[in-house]
Amino acid sequence: MTRTSPKLRVAAVQAAPVFLDLEGTLDKACHLIATAARRGAKLIVLPEAFVPAYPDWIWALPPSRSRAISELYAELVENAVTIPGPACDRLCQAAREARVYVVIGVNERNSEASGTSLYNTLLFIDPDGTLLIRHRKLVPTGAERLVWARGDGSTLRVLETPFGRLGGLICWENYMPLARYALYERGVQVHVASTWDRGEPWLSSLRHIAAEGRMFVIGCCQALHRDHIPDRLEFKRLYPPDRTWINVGDSTIVDPRGQVIAGPLREKEDILFAELDLAVATGARWMLDVAGHYSRPDVFQFAVRTAVPGSGESAAVPSSREAARRRALRVRSRPAARRKSVRRVRSRPAARRKSVRRARSRPAARRKSVRRARKPRRR
């Protein structure tokens, strides 16, 4: 009997936003989602910080230009996405109408607090239009720290989907070995690398990550032309006159052996498609499974801190493999006599073990009286 493996048609949308225009960018995003869905895509990926723009002025304006930076930041906050809110609802509706999974980068306002700080956030939406993951970038890179706050470990998650396990990281989070491993251990098979980066070093990294994790990697970037930035914005004049493409794009799709199967797209807005065979991701792990047979939990310890700061939750949650290893170590660290008694108790019938537990739960004086009562009388 021939086994059929799950197939998935994916789309990496390389496009520019309507710069610093929330409604205009949402219109464009919804149109692109519908277009990719009509061409057969079941998973549609849009770039990092697509709504309403990547704040590239942070690399052009020196910090001494504080007034210009403050004005741009205020405009970015004004056009950012609030979750829950109308902008998020529109993206969810687009996914629902197209019956597709959508992964899209947004500037998210911190609505749970001041409402004036921002996160670089990746949204994972299912075909029912439900927002399932809201992943906030753990570490903004360099000058990005002047715009975005840091995320936390609670959003390092992987989705179970009909075609396999879906996860993702934002831009240089993909250079964080432990962030990658957090997703590897959760069995990610299709990995989204939503980004602003491009060029040969980045493309080589996508190939390495795909081969390391034995998974498909969808690298999706904006293609931003100079003309996409409104003339009214002063920082536009700081780019060299011959720099027509602020970001060339380089969106790319890579297979689990590190081979490029689509792209890279360069210096144009377009949609990159690829057909993924999830059996390839599983089969590739027979030789290398970095969170499975190729890991050494007896040598290395790994845990993800999933608590939201200030929530009062537990600070660290070990991986399932690490938790099992710790339990084994606790048993091994007991004195020999204690371990034997544990084994003796475990070997008793269930009814006998219950009576032992009941006896141990009684006060000491009560236990002595029980022992005296059980002691045979001398004749």
Active-site positions? 48, 137, 171
With a CB cutoff of 8 Å and minimum separation 6, the contacts of 76 are: 20, 52, 53, 55, 107, 118, 147
- In the structure encoding, which two tokens stand for residue 174, read together? 């993909």
User: Which DSSP letter does residue 42 get?
Assistant: S
C-alpha pair distances (Å), 360 with each of 339, 341, 370: 17, 14, 11
Distance between CA atoms of residues 81 and 91, nearest Å: 11
Residue 332 CB coordination number (10 Å): 8
Q: Which residue has the tokens 């990926």?
A: 45
Residues 6+ apart with CB under 8 A from 355: none
- H or E stretch including 26? helix 22-38
Helix then strand then coil, in percent of the chain rounded to 5, is 40, 20, 40
Q: How far, CA to CA in Å, does 171 sit from each of 34, 71, 73?
A: 25, 26, 21
